[in-house]
Structure 1
Amino acid sequence: MILRDCLRTALFGLTGLLAIPIANAAATQIGVIVPDSWPDKAQAEEIRNGMLLALKTWPGQPAPTLVVKDSACDAAKAAAAARALIDAKVDVVIGGWCMLGSVPKILRDAGVPFVSTNSERLASGSDTSLQFGVVPMNLADSIASKLRTDAGLRVTATSACWIDYEQKLSDKYDAALCPTLHVDSTRWNEIAPTYTAAYRKPFTIAAARGHAAMQVALATIKQLRAGSRPATVLRDVKEVNTVLGRVRYRDDAVPDDAMQLILSAHMPRLPAREAAVLDEVMKSKGCGCAKTGECPQSKTWSSMPFVVQCAKPK
């Protein structure tokens, strides 16, 4: 009980850092662009709580100050937030929770290191950016288009799962392609009790994403304090172990299970040709055989980085 109260008091005190101006010229700042006001305020709060927990439990004191801006999941507002953070002279920026827009270019041109939490990966990532996303930009759209054409399914690759990783399927679709989030269960079990003690809430995917992003930002701050230049600091950081696994500065490999194909519990009756295509997809990309590496090979589908989800969506 004493530990829980101490944690809560410390974290609430830390929240006040968001509004405290920097008095020390050597102090460091982390800028954060979060979709606070839309589309999900509760998840935005969880993201912030995860970041604050990582910040408070970081051993590399003094802790940096956070400068938080709201993007409302809007490209123009996100761009304005990035420019405001540049004006505030932050040392590193975390953003991209629901969209990237022009933020990567704005920060690149200003020479500010950027930690992208977006589920998609830009092919032209700059030396000053580190990306959590493993799915190349627009790849999901091209696979969904192939599934629509060949299997005759109503498939979406633009659902909310690309923002929140929650794998829900709208009644409007037969299937959805969603990004896969790889979680380090050992780290999760280590962090979750502390998070719950501090906030009296369960540790969630949103909180884990915030925690992981802050770990990378803090590793960046540590490297800057050690003498790295902003232009090369992420290259010097190289990789960071987080609750979402190991995040590397340069990792262009796309995992075989980078995405999951979520199928409706009520699939339509398909013509013979389309039904045969869907059967081929299920056999070559089924999650059961994907786990064992024993899926039958398909010239069309085997090379595509997705698996069929094992469990049906609720």
Structure 2
Amino acid sequence: MSVRSQESGAARRRAQVGPMMVVTVLMALGLVGLGTAARAATIGVILPGSWPSVQQAEALQQGMTLALKTWPGDSVPTLIVKDSACDARKAELAAEELIQAKVDIVLGNWCEIGNGADRLKAAGIPLISSNAERVPGKELQVQLGRIELYAAERIATELRRETGLRISARTSCWLDFEATLSERVDAVLCPVLAVDKTRWDQVANTYAAAFRKPISPSAARGYAAMELALNYLRRAKGGKVTAALRDTQASTTLFGPVPAADAPAPTTALQLVFAQHLPKMGPQATQTLEKLVKSKGCGCPGGTLRDGCPKDGSPWSDMPFVVRGGGTPAACSTAISVLEL
């Protein structure tokens, strides 16, 4: 046999062994299925990767990764991740890039509100929107938000006018759902993470085993969004986009049932968290704040408006927030004690 023939044979063997080794490695990692070689779906993700918090973006993606790793489908979808930096213009550009990449579905709107949605709709690509606020009248979307658009800012504006306190409805808690107060504010109005306790415990244990750390709200948000995307892809085989989206809207995540598009926000959708020390207020503002604190949770068992706790006729009673004051049992006494200074 000639040297050239020997080299050609070796080349053929390398061409055969190389892909086999790659497939073997991917199978060992659980990244390919054992079924037929159907085309894997492609999921686009628009993450706030570079701002305001790289750590939160990483947690969001880790939650998505966990959902992908534990998905029982035949082939794991490909992920294409773009950075929005919580900027509306960048989110629009990221959506356009994902359209060009011909993705099957997009996960986004973690901190932007609706940006890129119209472009995706025009391209016929569904969007899973994870913003805490809901954008009305949007087609080709499944929205995880429970709060009416700009409702938090309207509540905060009224609270500032009635009490004179520095109350913010736009802080980092809208990304990680964890209230943190700075020296520049007296209180913050933040979304509340509602969870299915049984599902949460299951996912939290799996997440801790996979990443060697407790699950965070950001990771849970990523997981829930990916759950919906995978449910949609399972139902959308054969091109039934509208029916698949309708069925996905009726599904549940570790946050419980997906909120209906026309469902009013529950009274526990937001939490108003006060600083430990409030500035001195006048008699009228103090009276307003006292009525607010007592009507929004601190006068009820467990600090929430439930178990038949009577309402006092306060204009705040039906608004979608509770007073948590740090989320501890002593929060009510703390909130009320500042009124007695």
Aligned to 2:277: 266
What is the CA distance between 1:41 and its match in structure 2? 1.2
Q: Distance in 2 between matches of 1:47 and 1:260?
A: 22
Q: What's the CA shift for 1:205?
A: 1.1
1:1-314 to 2 correspondences below 5 Å: 13=29, 26-126=39-139, 128-225=140-237, 227-248=238-259, 250-287=261-298, 288-311=303-326
1:13 Cα deviation (Å)?
4.6
Find the aligned partners of 1:11 and 1:139 in 2 and give their Cα distance. Answer: 48
Contact 2:113 2:133 survives alignment (8 Å): no
Alpha-carbon deviations, 1:200-248, whole Å to 9, x = none?
22211111111110000001001111x3532443113232221112114
Matches of 2:174 and 2:28 in 1, distance apart? 31
Q: How far has the Cα of 1:67 moved from its partner?
A: 1.1
3-state SS of 2:272 partner = strand
Are the counterparts in 2 of residues 286 and 295 from structure 1 also a CA contact under 8 Å? Answer: no
TM-score by length of 2: 0.81
Cα offset, 1:27, TM superposition: 2.8
What's the secondary structure of 1:286's corresponding residue? helix
Shift of 1:25: 7.5
Change (3 A) 1:72 1:11: farther
Code of the residue aligned with 1:73 in structure 2: it is: C
Q: Relative to structure 1, is the Cα distance of residues 147 and 10 closer, same or farther in structure 2, using a 3 angstrom cutoff?
A: farther
- Which amino acid counterpart does residue 291 of structure 2 have in structure 1? E
Q: What displacement does 1:149 show?
A: 0.9
SS in 2 for 1:30: strand
- Structure 1 counterpart SS, 2:258: strand
Q: Assess, with a 3 A threshold, how the Cα gap between structure 1 residues 32 and 275 changes in structure 2: closer, same or farther.
A: same
Deviation at 1:136, TM superposition (A): 0.9
After superposition, give the CA deviation of every residue in 1:187-211 in whole Å (9 maximum; x if it has no partner): 1211122212222222111111111
Q: Structure 2 vs 1, CA of residues 115 and 101 (structure 1 numbering), >3 Å: closer, same or farther?
A: closer
Residue 252 (structure 1) shift: 2.5
Q: In the aligned structure 2, how far is the partner of 1:206 from the partner of 1:12?
A: 28
Higher RCO by CA contacts (8 Å cutoff, separation 6 or greater): 1
- Runs of at least 5 residues in structure 1 that lack an aligned partner in the other structure: 1-8, 18-23
**Structure 1 residues 93 and 168: alpha-carbon distance in aligned structure 2, compared to 1, 3 A threshold:** same
* Higher Rg: 2
| TM-score, reference length from structure 1 | 0.87
- Say whether the 8 Å CA contact 1:176–1:263 is kept in structure 2: yes
- Where 1:274 maps in the other structure, the secondary structure is helix
Aligned length: 297
Is the Cα–Cα contact under 8 Å of residues 212 and 243 in structure 1 kept in the other structure? yes
**Which stretch of structure 1 is more off in the superposition, 97-106 or 68-77?**
97-106
Q: Give percent identity, aligned residues only.
A: 44
Amino acid at match of 1:309: R
